[in-house]
Amino acid sequence: MKKDLMICLGGLAMLVAGLASFQHVSAQGASGNQSAAAKESAGAAKPEDTEQWAPVPVKVLPGASAGAAPSDAIILFDGRNLDEWVRVKDGSPAGWRVDNGTLVVDKATGNIATKRLFKNYQLHLEWRIPADITGEGQARGNSGLYLASTGRGDQGYEIQILDSWENKTYVNGQAASVYKQAPPLVNASRKPGDWQTYDVVWTAPTFHADGTLETPADVTVLHNGVLVQNHFRLLGETLYIGKPAYRKYDRAPIELQAHGDPSAPISFRNIWVRELN
Ligand code: MG
């Protein structure tokens, strides 16, 4: 009786071992050429070892079309009003003109900035140079997207906006440049009168408590869907004159520039942001 039970248990153990071996071989079947020693090894790597199951990414409903805001975006301008914006000079209502769903720069009012402060984010913005634009160089449809506004004027980190369809200027000052720091990888401009898009991923700089730089800012930009800045590491704030340098800040508004050149004002539409903090 006892002997029979032992034989029976022994047989069961062999069956279990055989099944385990079969499963192991099956699991390795895709790779096929593993050594016999590897197959026998109790510590052999399995596909499951490198599968991550948690945390599950939050579901986001994408916009209905490319450029449309996804469900988790903060809408900064959707054609209706400037509730999210203020005048940079004094914090008063933004004062630019909302005309037929578009936002038109008012050069007399000056720059406008978001009421909200941001750190790292993804941003979408659309802009249009007037079809009848005049002027040349930096005086032809100049505006700018300040990824972080650090002062009450043109201070911070600017992605240039300009008519660069057929308009010669310094290349680190043409459309989609990181102003005075990095020309765009290519010129993806559309002609005046056409709407253009910027899609930006901004990683803000970080600073030590004493104000010195800990990690530099980094920016990736697509202009009309074309990659024009690829993880560019900024040298500091984008200055009109002088060498870039960093100044400590934590969170900052996003700003749109009212440039003082005499050419006709440009327009914006469909501006949204997704925080990546
Ligand atoms: Mg500018």
What are the tens digits of pLDDT across the range 250-277? 999 999 999 999 999 999 999 999 999 7
Q: What spacing in Å lies between the alpha carbon of 105 and ligand 1's midpoint? A: 12
Q: What spacing in Å lies between the alpha carbon of 41 and ligand 1's midpoint? A: 64
CATH: 2.60.120.560, 3.30.1330.10, 3.40.50.150, 3.40.462.40. Which one for 74-275?
2.60.120.560
Least confident of 12-16, 158-162, 254-258: 12-16
Please give the angle made by the CA atoms of 98, 104 and 106, to the nearest 5 degrees: 110
Q: What spacing in Å lies between the alpha carbon of 103 and ligand 1's midpoint? A: 17
Residue pair 127/223 in contact (Cβ under 8 Å)? The answer is: no
Torsion of CA 85, 88, 92, 98, to 10 degrees: -40
What's the pLDDT tens digit per position in 123-146? 999 999 999 999 999 999 999 999
Q: What spacing in Å lies between the alpha carbon of 195 and ligand 1's midpoint? A: 17
Q: What span, in angstroms and rounded, lies between the C-alpha atoms of 258 and 97?
A: 12
Q: What spacing in Å lies between the alpha carbon of 130 and ligand 1's midpoint? A: 16
Q: What spacing in Å lies between the alpha carbon of 142 and ligand 1's midpoint? A: 5
What's the pLDDT tens digit per position in 193-247? 999 999 999 999 999 999 999 999 999 999 999 999 999 999 999 999 999 999 9
Rounded to the nearest integer, the mean pLDDT of the chain is 89
Q: How far is CA 5 from CA 2, 9, 14, in A?
A: 5, 6, 14
Q: What spacing in Å lies between the alpha carbon of 74 and ligand 1's midpoint? A: 24
Q: What spacing in Å lies between the alpha carbon of 143 and ligand 1's midpoint? A: 4
- State both tokens at 199: 């899609």
Q: Please count the other Cβ atoms lying within 10 Å of the Cβ belonging to residue 144.
A: 21
Q: Which helix (H) or strand (E) holds 215?
A: strand 213-215
Residue pair 163/174 in contact (Cβ under 8 Å)? The answer is: no
Q: What spacing in Å lies between the alpha carbon of 34 and ligand 1's midpoint? A: 60
Q: What spacing in Å lies between the alpha carbon of 160 and ligand 1's midpoint? A: 5
Q: What spacing in Å lies between the alpha carbon of 113 and ligand 1's midpoint? A: 14
Partners of 93 in beta bridges: 86
Q: What spacing in Å lies between the alpha carbon of 119 and ligand 1's midpoint? A: 21
Residue 31 has pLDDT above 70, yes or no: no
| Domain residue ranges in the chain | 74-275
